[in-house]
Amino acid sequence: MRTDDLIEALAKDRPHAAPKPRVVLGCAILGGALIAAVLFMSVIGYRPDIAAAAETYRFLFKFVFTLTLAATAIWLVFTIIRPEAVPGLRLLALASAPVLLILAVIAELLVIPSANWLPRLIGTNWWFCLTVIPVLSIVPLVAFVAALKRAAPASPGLAGALAGLSAGAIGATLYASHCIDDSPLFVMTWYSIAIGLVTLLGYLAGRRWLAW
């Protein structure tokens, strides 16, 4: 057998390298978000007046908040997938979305009468919000945790919490196009609680399944 033939035969017998954790995580994000979107469109769908709502700043701000939160949380997940990675001050990036929300709430309080504050905060579908956002977040969260098992984060609890925060933000982004409660007061209260529940679930999942 010639040397070239031997090298080729050995190369064929060599097991394929496992995908890198970042690639697996990226696929998990895309796949989980896509499945959640299909579920959303199949069961819930957009609000009937979405075209008119899209012309209002309150409706659009919901996506500014949820997408900013999703982007920062996902970025942090990518930064902590290796055991030597320490997020440090990069965790401060998570403050960007809450700061935007606080500014929007202040603006809302300044432009509407105080008698309308509580009705805007309670909204009309708070219970639906608290149900749908976690449900839409389950598949992305499972995908995140499954992908993180291929990595070795130094802090399983933190990795799980960030995965839950990312998944919750994805679920909230989808739900925002159905939700008819556009006030930042409603978003600050019920979106935050729903995303917080998914974050807590992610933390517990991380402690349970990402420890090494």
Tens of pLDDT along 128-154? 999 999 999 999 999 999 999 887 788
- 11 occurs within a structural domain: no
Rounded to whole angstroms, how far apart are CA atoms 78 and 93?
A: 13
- 101 occurs within a structural domain: yes
Q: Which DSSP string do the residues of 28-53 spell out, in sequence order?
A: HHHHHHHHHHHHHHHHT---TTHHHH
Rounded to whole angstroms, how far apart are CA atoms 192 and 105?
A: 13
- 163 occurs within a structural domain: yes
- 10 occurs within a structural domain: no
- 193 occurs within a structural domain: yes
| Residue 6: predicted pLDDT | 42
Phi, psi of 42 (to 5 degrees): -75, -35
- 58 occurs within a structural domain: yes
> What predicted TM-score, i.e. pTM, was given to this entire model?
0.88
Count of residues in the chain: 212
- 73 occurs within a structural domain: yes
User: Structural domain of residue 123, as residue ranges?
Assistant: 38-209
180 Cα distance to chain centroid: 21
Total domains, the chain: 1
- 130 occurs within a structural domain: yes
Give tens-digit pLDDT for 182-198: 999 999 999 999 999 99
